[in-house]
C-alpha cells in the first residue's frame, strides 16, 4: 500500500472517530492504519500548515476561512493545544460578530476540551464563564484584567499584570471601535471615558499595525488595551521578540515601564513576510497619553 493511501486511511479514521481522542487512541489508529514515523511526521506537517494558514486568516479577521483551516488542523493533530485554543478563539470571535448560538456552543465545548488537555488553562475558564453568562465583548476583555479566577489551584488574582495573548492564545472577542456598544446589564462595569492612545514604534525590519490601542477609564480603575499585528519586513526569520513598553503622560514622562514577549519561544517562527498577532491589557492611570515600544530582544 502506498504512503499517500496509508495517510489518507489514517486521516479518514480520525474523521470517523466520534469520541474524544486520547494519545492511546491516536497510537491505536496509527498502528491500525500502518503508519510509521515518516507518515506520522507528514500528517503533523499537514496539521501545522493548516494551523499557520488559520492564524494568518485570524490576523485579517477572515473568521470563516480561519475556522475551516483550524478545524483541519485539530482533526489531523487533535492533541495539539495551540490548534485547539486557536479554533476556540475563532469561534468566540465569530459569535461576538454574528451572534449565532451555534458558534457560542462550539466555543464553550472547545474551551472545555482545552481544559481537558491543560487543566491549568485560565483563559478557557474565563471564556466559559463569560459566554455562559453572555457577557458582551467589551466587558469580557475587561474581565481579563479584573477577574479573580477560581481554578483548581485556588484563587489567583490577575490584577496589576499584563495579560498576554501571543498569537491568538487568549480567548477574548476582538472589539471593533466603530461598532455600537451592546447594552450593558445593570451590574456590568461601564467605561466612563475612553480614548485612543498613539503608539511610538520604530524598528528596521518590523512594521506594527495597531488594530486597537485604547484607554478605558472606569470609576475605580483605568485599563489600557492593545491589539496589534507585527509584519516581518526583513529577510530574516524571527523566533523570539521581547518589547519594552513605556506608558507615557502628556509631558512624555514614563508613568510605568514593563516588558512583553510579543513573540515567545514557544510560538511558530515568524518568517519574512509573515504576520504575528499579540495583545495585552495593563492596569494604568487616567494620565496615560501615549505608548512607546522598543525592541529589547530580537532572535
Return the domain boundaries, the chain: 191-299
128: Cα separation from own chain's centroid: 15
Cα–Cα distances (Å) from 43 to 12, 55, 173, in that order, read 12, 19, 31
Label residue 155 exposed, middle or buried (CB < 10 Å: 0-12, 13-18, 19+): exposed
Place of cell 490601542: 213
Reduced to 3 states, what is the DSSP secondary structure of residue 295? Answer: strand
**CB-based contacts of 184, cutoff 8 Å, min separation 6:** 136, 139, 190
pTM assigned to the model: 0.48
pLDDT in tens, the chain (299 residues): 567 777 777 777 776 766 677 788 888 888 888 888 888 888 888 889 999 999 888 888 889 999 999 998 988 888 888 999 999 999 988 988 898 989 999 999 998 888 888 888 878 888 888 788 765 444 444 434 333 333 233 333 332 323 333 333 333 333 343 444 444 433 444 557 778 999 999 999 999 988 889 898 887 788 888 888 889 999 999 989 999 999 999 999 999 999 988 888 767 788 888 888 777 888 899 999 999 999 999 98
- The residues that bridge with 228 in the sheet, in sequence order, are 210, 278
According to the model, what pLDDT value does residue 174 have? 37
Question: For 191-299, which CATH superfamily applies?
Answer: Lipoprotein YajI-like (2.60.40.1620)
Q: How far apart are CA 67 and CA 289, in angstroms?
A: 37
Q: Can you read off the three cell numbers belonging to residue 4?
A: 499517500
Amino acid at each position: 500500500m502506498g504512503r499517500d493511501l496509508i495517510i489518507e486511511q489514517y486521516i479518514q479514521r480520525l474523521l470517523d472517530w466520534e469520541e474524544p481522542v486520547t494519545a492511546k487512541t491516536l497510537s491505536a489508529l496509527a498502528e491500525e492504519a500502518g503508519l510509521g514515523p515518516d507518515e506520522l511526521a507528514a500528517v503533523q506537517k499537514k496539521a501545522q500548515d493548516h494551523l499557520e494558514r488559520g492564524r494568518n486568516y485570524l490576523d485579517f479577521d477572515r473568521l470563516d476561512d480561519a475556522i475551516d483551516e483550524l478545524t483541519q488542523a485539530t482533526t489531523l493533530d487533535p492533541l495539539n493545544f495551540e490548534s485547539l485554543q486557536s479554533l476556540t478563539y475563532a469561534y468566540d470571535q465569530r459569535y461576538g460578530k454574528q451572534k449565532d448560538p451555534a458558534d457560542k456552543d462550539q466555543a464553550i465545548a472547545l474551551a472545555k476540551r482545552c481544559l481537558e488537555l491543560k487543566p491549568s488553562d485560565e483563559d478557557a475558564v474565563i471564556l466559559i464563564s463569560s459566554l455562559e453568562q453572555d457577557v458582551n465583548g467589551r466587558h469580557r476583555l475587561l474581565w481579563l484584567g479584573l477577574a479573580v479566577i477560581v481554578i483548581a489551584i485556588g484563587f489567583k488574582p490577575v490584577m496589576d499584570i499584563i495579560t498576554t495573548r501571543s498569537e491568538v492564545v487568549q480567548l477574548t472577542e476582538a472589539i471593533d471601535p466603530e461598532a455600537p456598544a451592546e447594552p450593558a446589564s445593570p451590574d456590568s462595569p461601564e467605561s466612563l471615558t475612553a480614548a485612543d492612545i498613539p503608539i511610538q514604534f520604530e524598528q528596521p525590519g518590523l512594521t506594527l499595525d495597531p488594530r486597537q490601542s485604547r484607554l478605558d477609564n472606569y470609576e475605580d480603575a483605568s485599563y489600557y488595551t492593545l491589539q496589534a499585528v507585527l509584519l516581518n519586513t526583513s529577510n530574516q526569520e524571527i523566533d523570539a521578540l521581547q518589547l519594552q513598553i513605556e506608558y507615557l503622560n502628556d509631558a512624555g514622562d514614563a508613568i510605568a515601564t514593563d516588558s512583553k514577549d510579543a513573540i515567545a519561544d514557544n510560538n511558530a517562527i515568524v518568517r519574512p513576510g509573515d504576520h504575528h498577532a499579540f495583545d495585552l491589557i495593563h492596569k494604568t492611570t487616567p494620565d496615560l497619553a501615549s505608548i512607546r515600544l522598543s525592541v529589547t530582544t530580537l532572535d
